[in-house]
C-alpha cells in the first residue's frame, strides 16, 4: 500500500518549461524532496529570486501548464502558435501552447462563451478534475453530479491527501497544487498497473531503508547508496542526512536515486550516543541522561553493508558512535550504526587554540578527570576531546614522565614507544612528530607523555618543556641502572630513579650517580636539563591530628588542607622490600587520627594550606588482601619452608618459600605485599563478638557499627572444614542468621583501616 505523505508546501510555477530553477535546498522536511523531484521532471520549480510565495493563488493558465507538463502530452505543446485557442488567450499569450494542448487532449475546457479566463484562480474542484483527466479518466467515469463524483473518486485514489483546503469553490494555492500533482504522479493510470510517474521513466522502491554510503563504509563506491533493497546510484545532490531513514526512493530508469520521501516518523525511534563500555554493556547518552542501552543482542543490525546483530557489533563501539534504533509497533526492525564525529585530541594551551579547534562553546558540558569542570579550570597540557553529538568535552590529565627507551617499529615511523619500561600506543599527530626521528625527542631523553582517553600518547613534552616540576618531592619506588639504546643503535647503561609524587603521578629521570640507597624513601629531586640530582627529603614534622573532611572544609589537626590536596600513602620505607604506594582521596581519611610520625612529608600552598601529603601506611590501601585457604609450614633444624594457598578477589594463588615461613592461619584474612610471589604475608585481625550484617554497607559487632567498604571480599563455605570457597556479594549473607560470620580488618577505622575480608560459613 502506498504510504500517505506530503505536508503542504510552496512551489513556484515556472514561466517556461525548459528554463527551470530550484528553490533553496532544505533538508528538514519532505517538501524539499518533492520540489527537487518536480523540478527534475520539469513540472514545477522555485522562483529564481528565491521567493516561494506560499499563499499565492494559482491561475487557470498556470495550472494548465503544470497539468500538461505532468501528462503524457507534455512534449506536444508547441513553442509557438499562429492560432488563438480562446479569444481571451490569444496565440501570443505565454500559456497558449499549454492551453491548446490541454484542450486538444481533453484535459481542460473553456466556458460556453468561448472564453478560457486564464487569469482566474483555479478552484479546488477544477484542479482535481483536470488531474483526474491527466490519469485518463473522463466525465463518463464520474457520474452526472459535478463535482461530487470527481471529488469522491479523487479521495478514493488518495489524490487529495494532505491538501490543506479542500472546500468546494476554494481557490487553490501553490502549495496545494504541488501536493495534488505529486499525489497524482503516485496514482496508477486508468486501466493500467503503472503509476503516472512511469511516463518519466521513474519508479519507486517503496518502504526501503537507506543503510549506508561511502561515508559510513569506505567499501561502498562513492556514487552509491546501500539499501535493504539493493544498491543504487546517487548524484551530487544526494542528501546524506537521510541515511538511516526508511521511505520511498524515486529511481530514474530503476537505477539512479532522484528523490527520497521518508515515511512519517522515519527518524529513529531511539537514538543513542555511545559514552563508554561497562563490561558487556554499552553506556550511552539519550534524552539528556546516561543509561545502559537496552537492546537484545539478537536484534538485526547493519554495520556498513554487513547485516549482523547488535550483540556482534557492540563490542567495537567507541565514544561518540551513534546507535539508531528503528521500530514498528514497538518491535525493532533494524539498527544502524554511525561512526561518531569525536574531535581531538587537542592539547590545552594558553592561546585557547583547543577551544576554536574543537568547536566548543560556553554551553558545552565539560568533564575533567571525571569531574564536572568549566573552561577556566582547564590547565595547560590537559588533553581534550569534543563530541558534537553530545556537546560534551572530555578532558584527561594523565601524564607520565620517564626515559624514552625505544620506538616500534622504528623511530622513523613510531606506532608505539617504550618509556621507562612501559609501552604506549601513539594517538596524536603531535606525539608522532615529536617522537619520530625528525622530532626533538631522542633515545635516553626524559620526556613527558600526555595521555588521552585510552591512555595512548596524545602529545609529548620534551626536555625543553617538561610538565614535571623542576623540583619534586616524592616516593622513590625504583632506582639503579638501566640500559638504553642511543640513536646510533649503540647500548649504554645509565643511572635512573623513579618517583611517585603525591597524587600518584610517576616520573622517571636519568641521574648522574647511583641512587639505589634511596629506594622506598621520600626524596627531593631537582631537575636540570633533563638530568636529576637527588637528596633525601627532610622530615619537616609538626603536622598531625584528626583529619576532617567535608565539602566546605578540610583540616589535619589544626592546619587547613587545600581542597585539591594530593595525597600518597606508602606501604613500606624499607629499601629491601618491594615498593608499595597508592594515591588517596581526602574523603578516605575522614575522621582518621594521623600521628605526626605517620607524616613523611607535606607541602603548603601560598595560602598556608597543606596541598601535598606523603603518609606512612595510614590506610593500608597499598597492600593486597585475601583469605588463606591452605597453610603448610615445615621446620627441620635450621631449614624452613612453606606452602600457602589463598584467594584474592576470588582468584586462587599459591606461594612457596624455601628459607622462610609466614605465620598465618587457614581461613583467616591475610595481608600481602603482592598477590603473586609475595615477600610478606600476615594475618589480619578478627572482629570478635556477635556480628550482624546491616544491609550491604554496614555491620554491627559488640554494640558498635562498622562501615563495610564496597571492595570487601566475601567468601562462603557450606561447612567449616570444606575446601570449597565461593566469592559472593555481601547481600547474599545479609539478614536471616543463616551463616556464622568471621570478619577481618587490618586496622580500626579511626586509625585508617577498614574491614577487608568476611568468611561466611553456612549453619
Report which of 664, 630, 670, 646 is spatially closest to residue 756, judged by C-alpha positions.
670
Q: At what angle do helices 124-134 and 60-69 cross, to 10 degrees?
A: 20
Average pLDDT of the residues in 543-554: 91
Higher pLDDT, 512 or 239: 239
Average pLDDT of the residues in 537-546: 82
Cα–Cα distance between 361 and 381 in angstroms, integer? 19
Report which of 381, 338, 389, 379 is spatially closest to residue 359, judged by C-alpha positions.
389
Architecture of domain 270-338 in CATH? Beta Barrel (2.40)
In 329-378, which ranges are E strands? Answer: 331-338, 343-347, 365-368, 371-373
C-alpha grid cell, residue 620: 593500608
For the ranges 126-135, 271-280, 458-467, which has the lowest average pLDDT?
458-467
- CA atoms within 13 A of residue 306's CA, in its CB half-sphere: 11
Percentage of the chain surpassing pLDDT 90? Answer: 52
* DSSP string covering 199-262: GGTEEEEEEEEEEE-TTT-TTS-TTEEEEBTEEEE--TT--GGGTT-EEEEEEETTTEEEEEEE
Check pLDDT > 80 for residue 7. no
Helix %, strand %, coil % of the chain (to 5) = 15, 40, 45
What pLDDT is stored for residue 565 in this prediction?
94
**CB atoms inside a 10 Å sphere around CB 734:** 16
Q: Which residues pair with 641 in a beta bridge?
A: 634
Cα–Cα distance between 136 and 718 in angstroms, integer? 87
What pLDDT is stored for residue 10 in this prediction?
28
C-alpha grid cell, residue 586: 581526602
Cα–Cα distance between 455 and 470 in angstroms, integer? 24
From residue 335, alpha-carbon distances to 208, 244, 261, 269, 587 in Å are 14, 9, 20, 10, 44
Burial 489-498 (b: 16+ CB within 10 A, else e): eeeeeebbbb
Higher pLDDT, 276 or 577: 577
Cα–Cα distance between 148 and 166 in angstroms, integer? 12
Cα–Cα distance between 473 and 588 in angstroms, integer? 22
In 591-663, which ranges are E strands? Answer: 592-594, 599-604, 610-616, 624-636, 639-648, 651-657
Residues 6+ apart with CB under 8 A from 608: 560
From residue 646, alpha-carbon distances to 551, 625, 632, 681, 717 in Å are 40, 10, 12, 11, 14
The whole-chain average pLDDT of the chain stands at: 86
What pLDDT is stored for residue 486 in this prediction?
57
What pLDDT is stored for residue 303 in this prediction?
78
Cα–Cα distance between 742 and 763 in angstroms, integer? 13
Check pLDDT > 50 for residue 3. no
From residue 449, alpha-carbon distances to 317, 384, 397, 439, 510 in Å are 26, 14, 11, 14, 16
> Exposed, middle or buried, 327 (CB in 10 Å: 0-12/13-18/19+)?
middle
For the ranges 159-173, 178-192, 277-291, 741-755, which has the lowest average pLDDT?
277-291
pLDDT digits (tens, 9 = 90+) for 412-457: 889 999 888 789 999 988 899 889 888 878 777 778 899 998 889 9
**pLDDT range class, residue 362, cuts 50, 70, 90:** confident
Report which of 379, 297, 386 is spatially closest to residue 340, judged by C-alpha positions.
386
What pLDDT is stored for residue 306 in this prediction?
82
Q: Which residues pair with 443 in a beta bridge?
A: none
C-alpha grid cell, residue 42: 520539469
Determine the distance from the C-alpha atom of residue 236 to the mean position of all C-alpha atoms in its chain, rounded to a whole number: 30
For the ranges 340-344, 495-499, 629-633, which has the lowest average pLDDT?
340-344
Contact 139, 190 (CB under 8 A): no
What pLDDT is stored for residue 162 in this prediction?
85
pLDDT digits (tens, 9 = 90+) for 300-359: 888 778 888 999 988 888 888 888 898 877 888 888 887 777 888 999 988 887 788 788
Stated as kind and residue range, the H or E segment containing 181 is helix 174-185
**pLDDT range class, residue 1, cuts 50, 70, 90:** very low
Taking the CA atoms of 166, 170, 176 and 182 in sequence, report the sign of the dihedral they define.
positive
Q: Which residues pair with 400 in a beta bridge?
A: 449
Cα–Cα distance between 296 and 334 in angstroms, integer? 11
For the ranges 39-43, 92-96, 366-370, 722-726, which has the lowest average pLDDT?
366-370
Higher pLDDT, 760 or 216: 760
Cα–Cα distance between 406 and 409 in angstroms, integer? 9
**pLDDT range class, residue 13, cuts 50, 70, 90:** very low
The cell 525511534 sits on which residue?
Answer: 269
What's the CA dihedral at 238, 243, 247, 253 to 10 degrees? Answer: 40
Residue 510, φ and ψ in degrees, nearest 5: -85, 145
Contact 186, 179 (CB under 8 A): no
Cα–Cα distance between 35 and 282 in angstroms, integer? 41
The cell 470527481 sits on which residue?
Answer: 150
From residue 343, alpha-carbon distances to 215, 321, 390, 471 in Å are 17, 12, 12, 35
What pLDDT is stored for residue 706 in this prediction?
96
From residue 642, alpha-carbon distances to 636, 661, 662, 674, 684 in Å are 12, 5, 7, 17, 19
Check pLDDT > 50 for residue 2. no
pLDDT digits (tens, 9 = 90+) for 43-78: 987 666 655 576 789 999 999 999 999 999 998 887
Cα–Cα distance between 324 and 759 in angstroms, integer? 47
Stated as kind and residue range, the H or E segment containing 506 is strand 506-511
For the ranges 47-56, 546-555, 682-691, which has the lowest average pLDDT?
47-56
C-alpha grid cell, residue 69: 507538463
Contact 510, 531 (CB under 8 A): yes
From residue 214, alpha-carbon distances to 222, 300, 754 in Å are 5, 21, 57
Taking the CA atoms of 53, 54, 59 and 64 in sequence, report the sign of the dihedral they define.
positive
Burial 8-46 (b: 16+ CB within 10 A, else e): bbbbbbbeebeebebbeeeeeebbbbbbbbbbbbbbbbb
* Domains in the chain: boundaries: 30-199, 201-262, 270-338, 351-396, 399-536, 545-616, 624-683, 685-762
Cα–Cα distance between 3 and 183 in angstroms, integer? 11
Starting at the edge strand found earlier in the chain, the sheet holding 726-727 runs 685-687, 739-745, 755-762, 713-717, 726-727
Contact 457, 450 (CB under 8 A): yes
C-alpha grid cell, residue 671: 595481608
Stated as kind and residue range, the H or E segment containing 98 is helix 96-104
Higher pLDDT, 392 or 745: 745
For the ranges 28-37, 196-205, 279-288, 570-579, which has the lowest average pLDDT?
28-37
Check pLDDT > 70 for residue 8. no
For the ranges 111-125, 179-193, 331-345, 681-695, which has the lowest average pLDDT?
331-345
Determine the distance from the C-alpha atom of residue 578 to the mean position of all C-alpha atoms in its chain, rounded to a whole number: 40
Check pLDDT > 60 for residue 19. no
Percentage of the chain surpassing pLDDT 70? Answer: 91
C-alpha grid cell, residue 761: 560459613
Average pLDDT of the residues in 668-690: 96
Average pLDDT of the residues in 511-516: 89
Q: At what angle do helices 174-185 and 124-134 cross, to 10 degrees?
A: 20
pLDDT digits (tens, 9 = 90+) for 285-307: 887 778 899 899 999 888 778 88
**CB atoms inside a 10 Å sphere around CB 445:** 18
Amino acid at each position: 500500500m502506498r504510504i500517505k505523505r506530503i505536508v503542504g508546501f510552496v512551489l513556484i510555477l515556472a514561466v517556461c518549461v525548459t528554463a527551470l530553477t530550484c528553490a533553496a535546498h532544505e533538508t528538514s522536511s519532505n517538501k524539499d524532496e518533492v520540489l527537487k523531484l518536480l523540478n527534475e521532471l520539469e513540472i514545477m520549480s522555485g522562483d529564481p529570486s528565491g521567493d516561494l510565495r506560499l499563499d499565492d493563488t494559482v491561475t487557470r493558465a498556470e495550472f494548465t501548464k503544470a497539468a500538461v507538463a505532468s501528462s503524457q502530452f507534455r512534449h506536444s505543446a508547441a513553442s509557438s502558435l499562429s492560432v488563438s485557442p480562446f479569444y481571451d488567450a490569444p496565440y501570443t499569450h505565454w500559456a497558449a501552447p499549454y492551453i491548446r494542448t490541454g484542450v486538444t487532449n481533453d484535459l481542460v475546457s473553456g466556458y460556453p462563451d468561448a472564453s478560457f479566463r486564464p487569469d482566474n484562480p483555479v478552484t479546488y474542484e477544477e484542479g482535481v478534475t483536470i488531474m483526474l483527466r491527466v490519469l485518463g479518466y473522463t466525465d463518463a467515469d464520474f457520474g452526472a453530479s459535478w463535482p461530487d463524483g470527481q471529488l469522491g473518486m479523487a479521495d478514493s485514489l488518495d489524490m487529495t491527501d494532505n491538501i490543506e483546503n479542500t472546500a468546494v469553490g476554494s481557490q487553490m494555492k501553490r502549495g496545494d497544487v504541488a501536493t495534488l500533482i505529486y499525489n497524482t504522479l503516485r496514482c496508477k493510470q486508468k486501466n493500467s498497473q503503472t503509476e503516472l510517474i512511469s511516463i518519466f521513466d521513474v519508479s519507486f522502491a517503496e518502504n526501503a531503508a537507506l543503510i549506508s554510503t561511502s561515508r559510513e563504509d569506505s567499501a561502498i563506491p562513492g556514487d552509491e547508496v546501500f539499501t535493504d533493497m539493493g544498491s543504487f546510484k546517487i548524484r551530487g545532490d544526494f542528501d546524506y542526512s537521510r541515511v538511516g531513514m526508511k521511505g520511498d526512493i524515486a529511481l530514474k530508469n530503476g537505477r539512479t536515486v532522484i528523490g527520497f520521501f521518508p515515511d512519517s516518523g522515519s527518524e529513529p525511534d531511539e537514538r543513542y550516543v555511545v559514552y563508554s563500555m561497562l563490561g558487556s554493556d554499552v553506556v550511552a547518552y539519550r534524552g539528556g541522561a546516561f543509561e545502559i542501552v537496552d537492546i537484545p543482542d539478537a536484534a538485526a543490525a547493519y554495520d556498513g553493508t554487513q547485516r549482523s546483530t547488535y550483540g556482534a557489533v557492540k563490542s567495537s563501539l567507541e565514544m561518540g558512535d551513534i546507535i539508531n534504533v528503528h521500530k514498528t509497533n514497538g518491535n525493532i526492525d533494524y539498527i544502524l550504526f554511525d561512526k561518531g564525529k569525536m574531535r581531538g585530541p587537542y592539547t590545552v594551551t594558553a592561546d585557547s587554540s583547543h577551544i576554536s579547534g574543537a568547536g566548543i562553546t560556553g554551553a558545552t558540558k565539560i568533564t575533567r578527570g571525571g569531574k564536572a569542570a568549566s573552561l577556566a579550570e582547564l590547565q595547560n597540557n590537559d588533553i581534550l576531546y569534543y563530541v558534537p553529538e553530545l556537546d560534551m568535552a572530555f578532558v584527561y590529565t594523565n601524564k607520565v614522565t620517564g626515559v624514552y627507551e625505544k620506538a616500534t617499529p622504528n623511530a622513523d615511523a613510531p606506532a608505539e614507544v617504550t618509556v621507562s619500561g612501559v609501552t604506549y600506543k601513539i594517538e596524536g599527530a603531535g606525539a608522532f612528530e615529536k617522537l619520530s626521528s625528525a622530532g626533538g625527542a631522542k633515545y635516553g631523553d626524559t620526556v613527558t607523555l600526555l595521555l588521552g582517553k585510552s591512555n595512548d600518547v596524545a602529545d609529548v613534552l620534551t626536555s625543553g618543556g617538561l610538565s614535571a616540576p623542576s623540583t619534586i618531592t616524592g616516593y622513590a619506588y625504583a632506582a639503579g641502572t638501566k640500559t638504553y639504546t642511543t640513536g646510533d643503535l649503540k647500548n649504554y647503561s645509565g643511572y635512573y630513579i623513579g618517583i611517585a609524587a603525591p597524587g600518584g603521578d610517576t616520573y622517571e629521570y636519568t641521574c648522574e650517580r647511583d641512587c639505589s640507597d634511596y629506594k622506598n624513601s621520600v626524596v627531593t629531586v631537582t631537575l636540570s636539563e633533563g638530568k636529576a640530582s637527588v637528596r633525601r627529603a627532610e622530615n619537616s614534622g609538626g603536622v598531625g591530628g584528626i583529619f576532617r573532611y567535608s565539602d566546605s572544609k578540610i583540616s589535619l589537626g589544626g592546619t587547613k588542607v587545600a581542597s585539591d590536596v594530593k595525597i600518597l600513602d606508602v606501604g613500606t620505607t624499607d629499601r629491601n622490600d618491594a615498593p608499595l604506594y597508592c594515591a588517596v582521596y581526602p574523603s578516605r581519611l575522614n575522621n582518621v587520627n594521623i600521628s605526626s610520625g605517620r607524616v613523611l612529608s607535606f607541602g603548603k600552598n601560598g595560602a598556608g594550606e597543606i596541598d601535598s601529603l606523603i603518609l606512612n601506611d595510614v590506610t593500608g590501601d597499598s597492600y593486597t588482601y585475601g583469605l588463606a585457604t591452605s597453610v603448610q609450614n615445615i621446620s627441620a633444624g635450621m631449614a624452613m619452608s612453606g606452602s600457602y594457598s589463598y584467594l584474592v578477589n576470588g582468584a586462587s594463588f599459591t606461594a612457596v618459600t624455601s628459607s622462610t615461613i609466614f605465620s598465618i592461619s587457614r581461613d583467616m584474612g591475610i595481608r600481602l605485599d603482592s598477590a603473586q610471589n609475595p615477600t610478606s604475608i600476615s594475618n589480619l585481625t578478627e572482629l570478635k563478638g556477635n556480628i550482624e550484617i546491616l544491609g550491604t554497607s554496614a555491620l554491627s559487632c559488640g554494640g558498635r557499627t562498622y562501615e563495610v567498604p564496597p571492595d570487601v571480599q566475601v567468601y562462603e563455605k557450606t561447612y567449616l572444614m570444606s575446601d570449597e570457597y565461593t566469592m559472593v556479594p555481601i547481600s547474599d549473607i545479609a539478614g536471616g542468621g543463616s551463616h556464622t560470620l568471621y570478619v577481618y580488618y587490618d586496622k580500626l577505622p579511626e586509625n585508617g583501616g577498614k574491614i577487608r575480608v568476611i568468611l561466611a560459613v553456612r549453619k
